[in-house]
Structure 1
Amino acid sequence: MKKRAIAAILVVIIGAGIDELLPTVRSDTSRFQGQLPEEVGPFRLSEQKDYEGNIWGTYVGLGGYLADHVISYGTARPHDAVDCWQLHSKSPVWHELRTLRTASSAAIFDVAIFLDKGTKKRLIASTSCDIEGCRQSYAGNGWRWPTVESLGLVLKPPTPVAISIVGPPNSEIDALVSQFDSFVAGLDLAHVTTSSNRR
């Protein structure tokens, strides 16, 4: 009986220790609740989710355009959404590296348009933010090595930011890119660069 009691106590102590060392994703992202704005350019927030280290907002724009904005605060490694789509055997019908002005600074996005479910076009954009700003290289080289943070000298990966935009059926590439530019122009990424992956 004594051995069982000791074993139970050890399990509780070890479990508590692991929880301290490896905080859950929920606690990682809970500090960032409410950081997705209600409006981004002509888009309005319709839903916000917090799961698996991602803050995910779905926005509704004019003319039937939908935008998903995802900030991956809880991730432990870099991620490029364009790379992800290409790894799933999808080739873009349009692909460009774009430097755009956001509401707070300039950012470099890897932007591609894919055919999704037949003829429907989906724009996917990715950037990575840290205290030095937001930038991305082309898919295939879509992530950067962690940088040394000026305070604390701790290696931390940049925070991935992804945007997905779909429009009504038969949306043209120029129209999707224009909607993306409007969304980014209203997007403030300052809170991502200043609090990038601080746990």
Structure 2
Amino acid sequence: MPKPQRLEKPLDSFVREIALCVATNGDKGPALFWPENFHTLPELQRLARSVRPPGGWPYGAGTWLSPTDGPPRRSGAVGPEAEGLAAALGELLGLLVRPSYRFLPSAAVGARQASRTAEYMVTVLDGACRCRVTRDADAAGGPPSDAVDLRLRAGGTLFVPRDHAYDLLDVHTPTVLMELVLSETD
């Protein structure tokens, strides 16, 4: 991870809002929020556009663009500014934060994301989709329960705590997401 750098006001505000959300909801359950600063969404969209290949996202449905993923992979796929945002958030929370982008074309269904050890922040940059959050059966030792079903739209950020999973469903328009994975640094 690059060293934290001074973030522009909208991104700095977003990082602080995420930290507050994690501190408030970390052990209670999922949470949804919209950035307080009006300029945050355009700045986040700019970060994603800076790594968007000419002609669009060619990698196919549900592709994560992350420097730690296997093929398809592009060097520095998330870009230095997204890495800087992740580093600033990681420093504030004392966690390792890994950023990635995901493109979902119309009629796509995203893969299930679940973790016992990580928390997720999922921000819709463009488009919309339905999201179902459940307590993860593997993590909780039983069947999925406590489902929260909601519609995510551009600008919304969803916090998914440990021991939960989320599914992205009902994509009716091309959708771009930014995911931040928060995990222990050990």
Same-fold status (TM-score > 0.5): no
TM-score relative to the length of structure 1: 0.28
Max Rg structure:
1
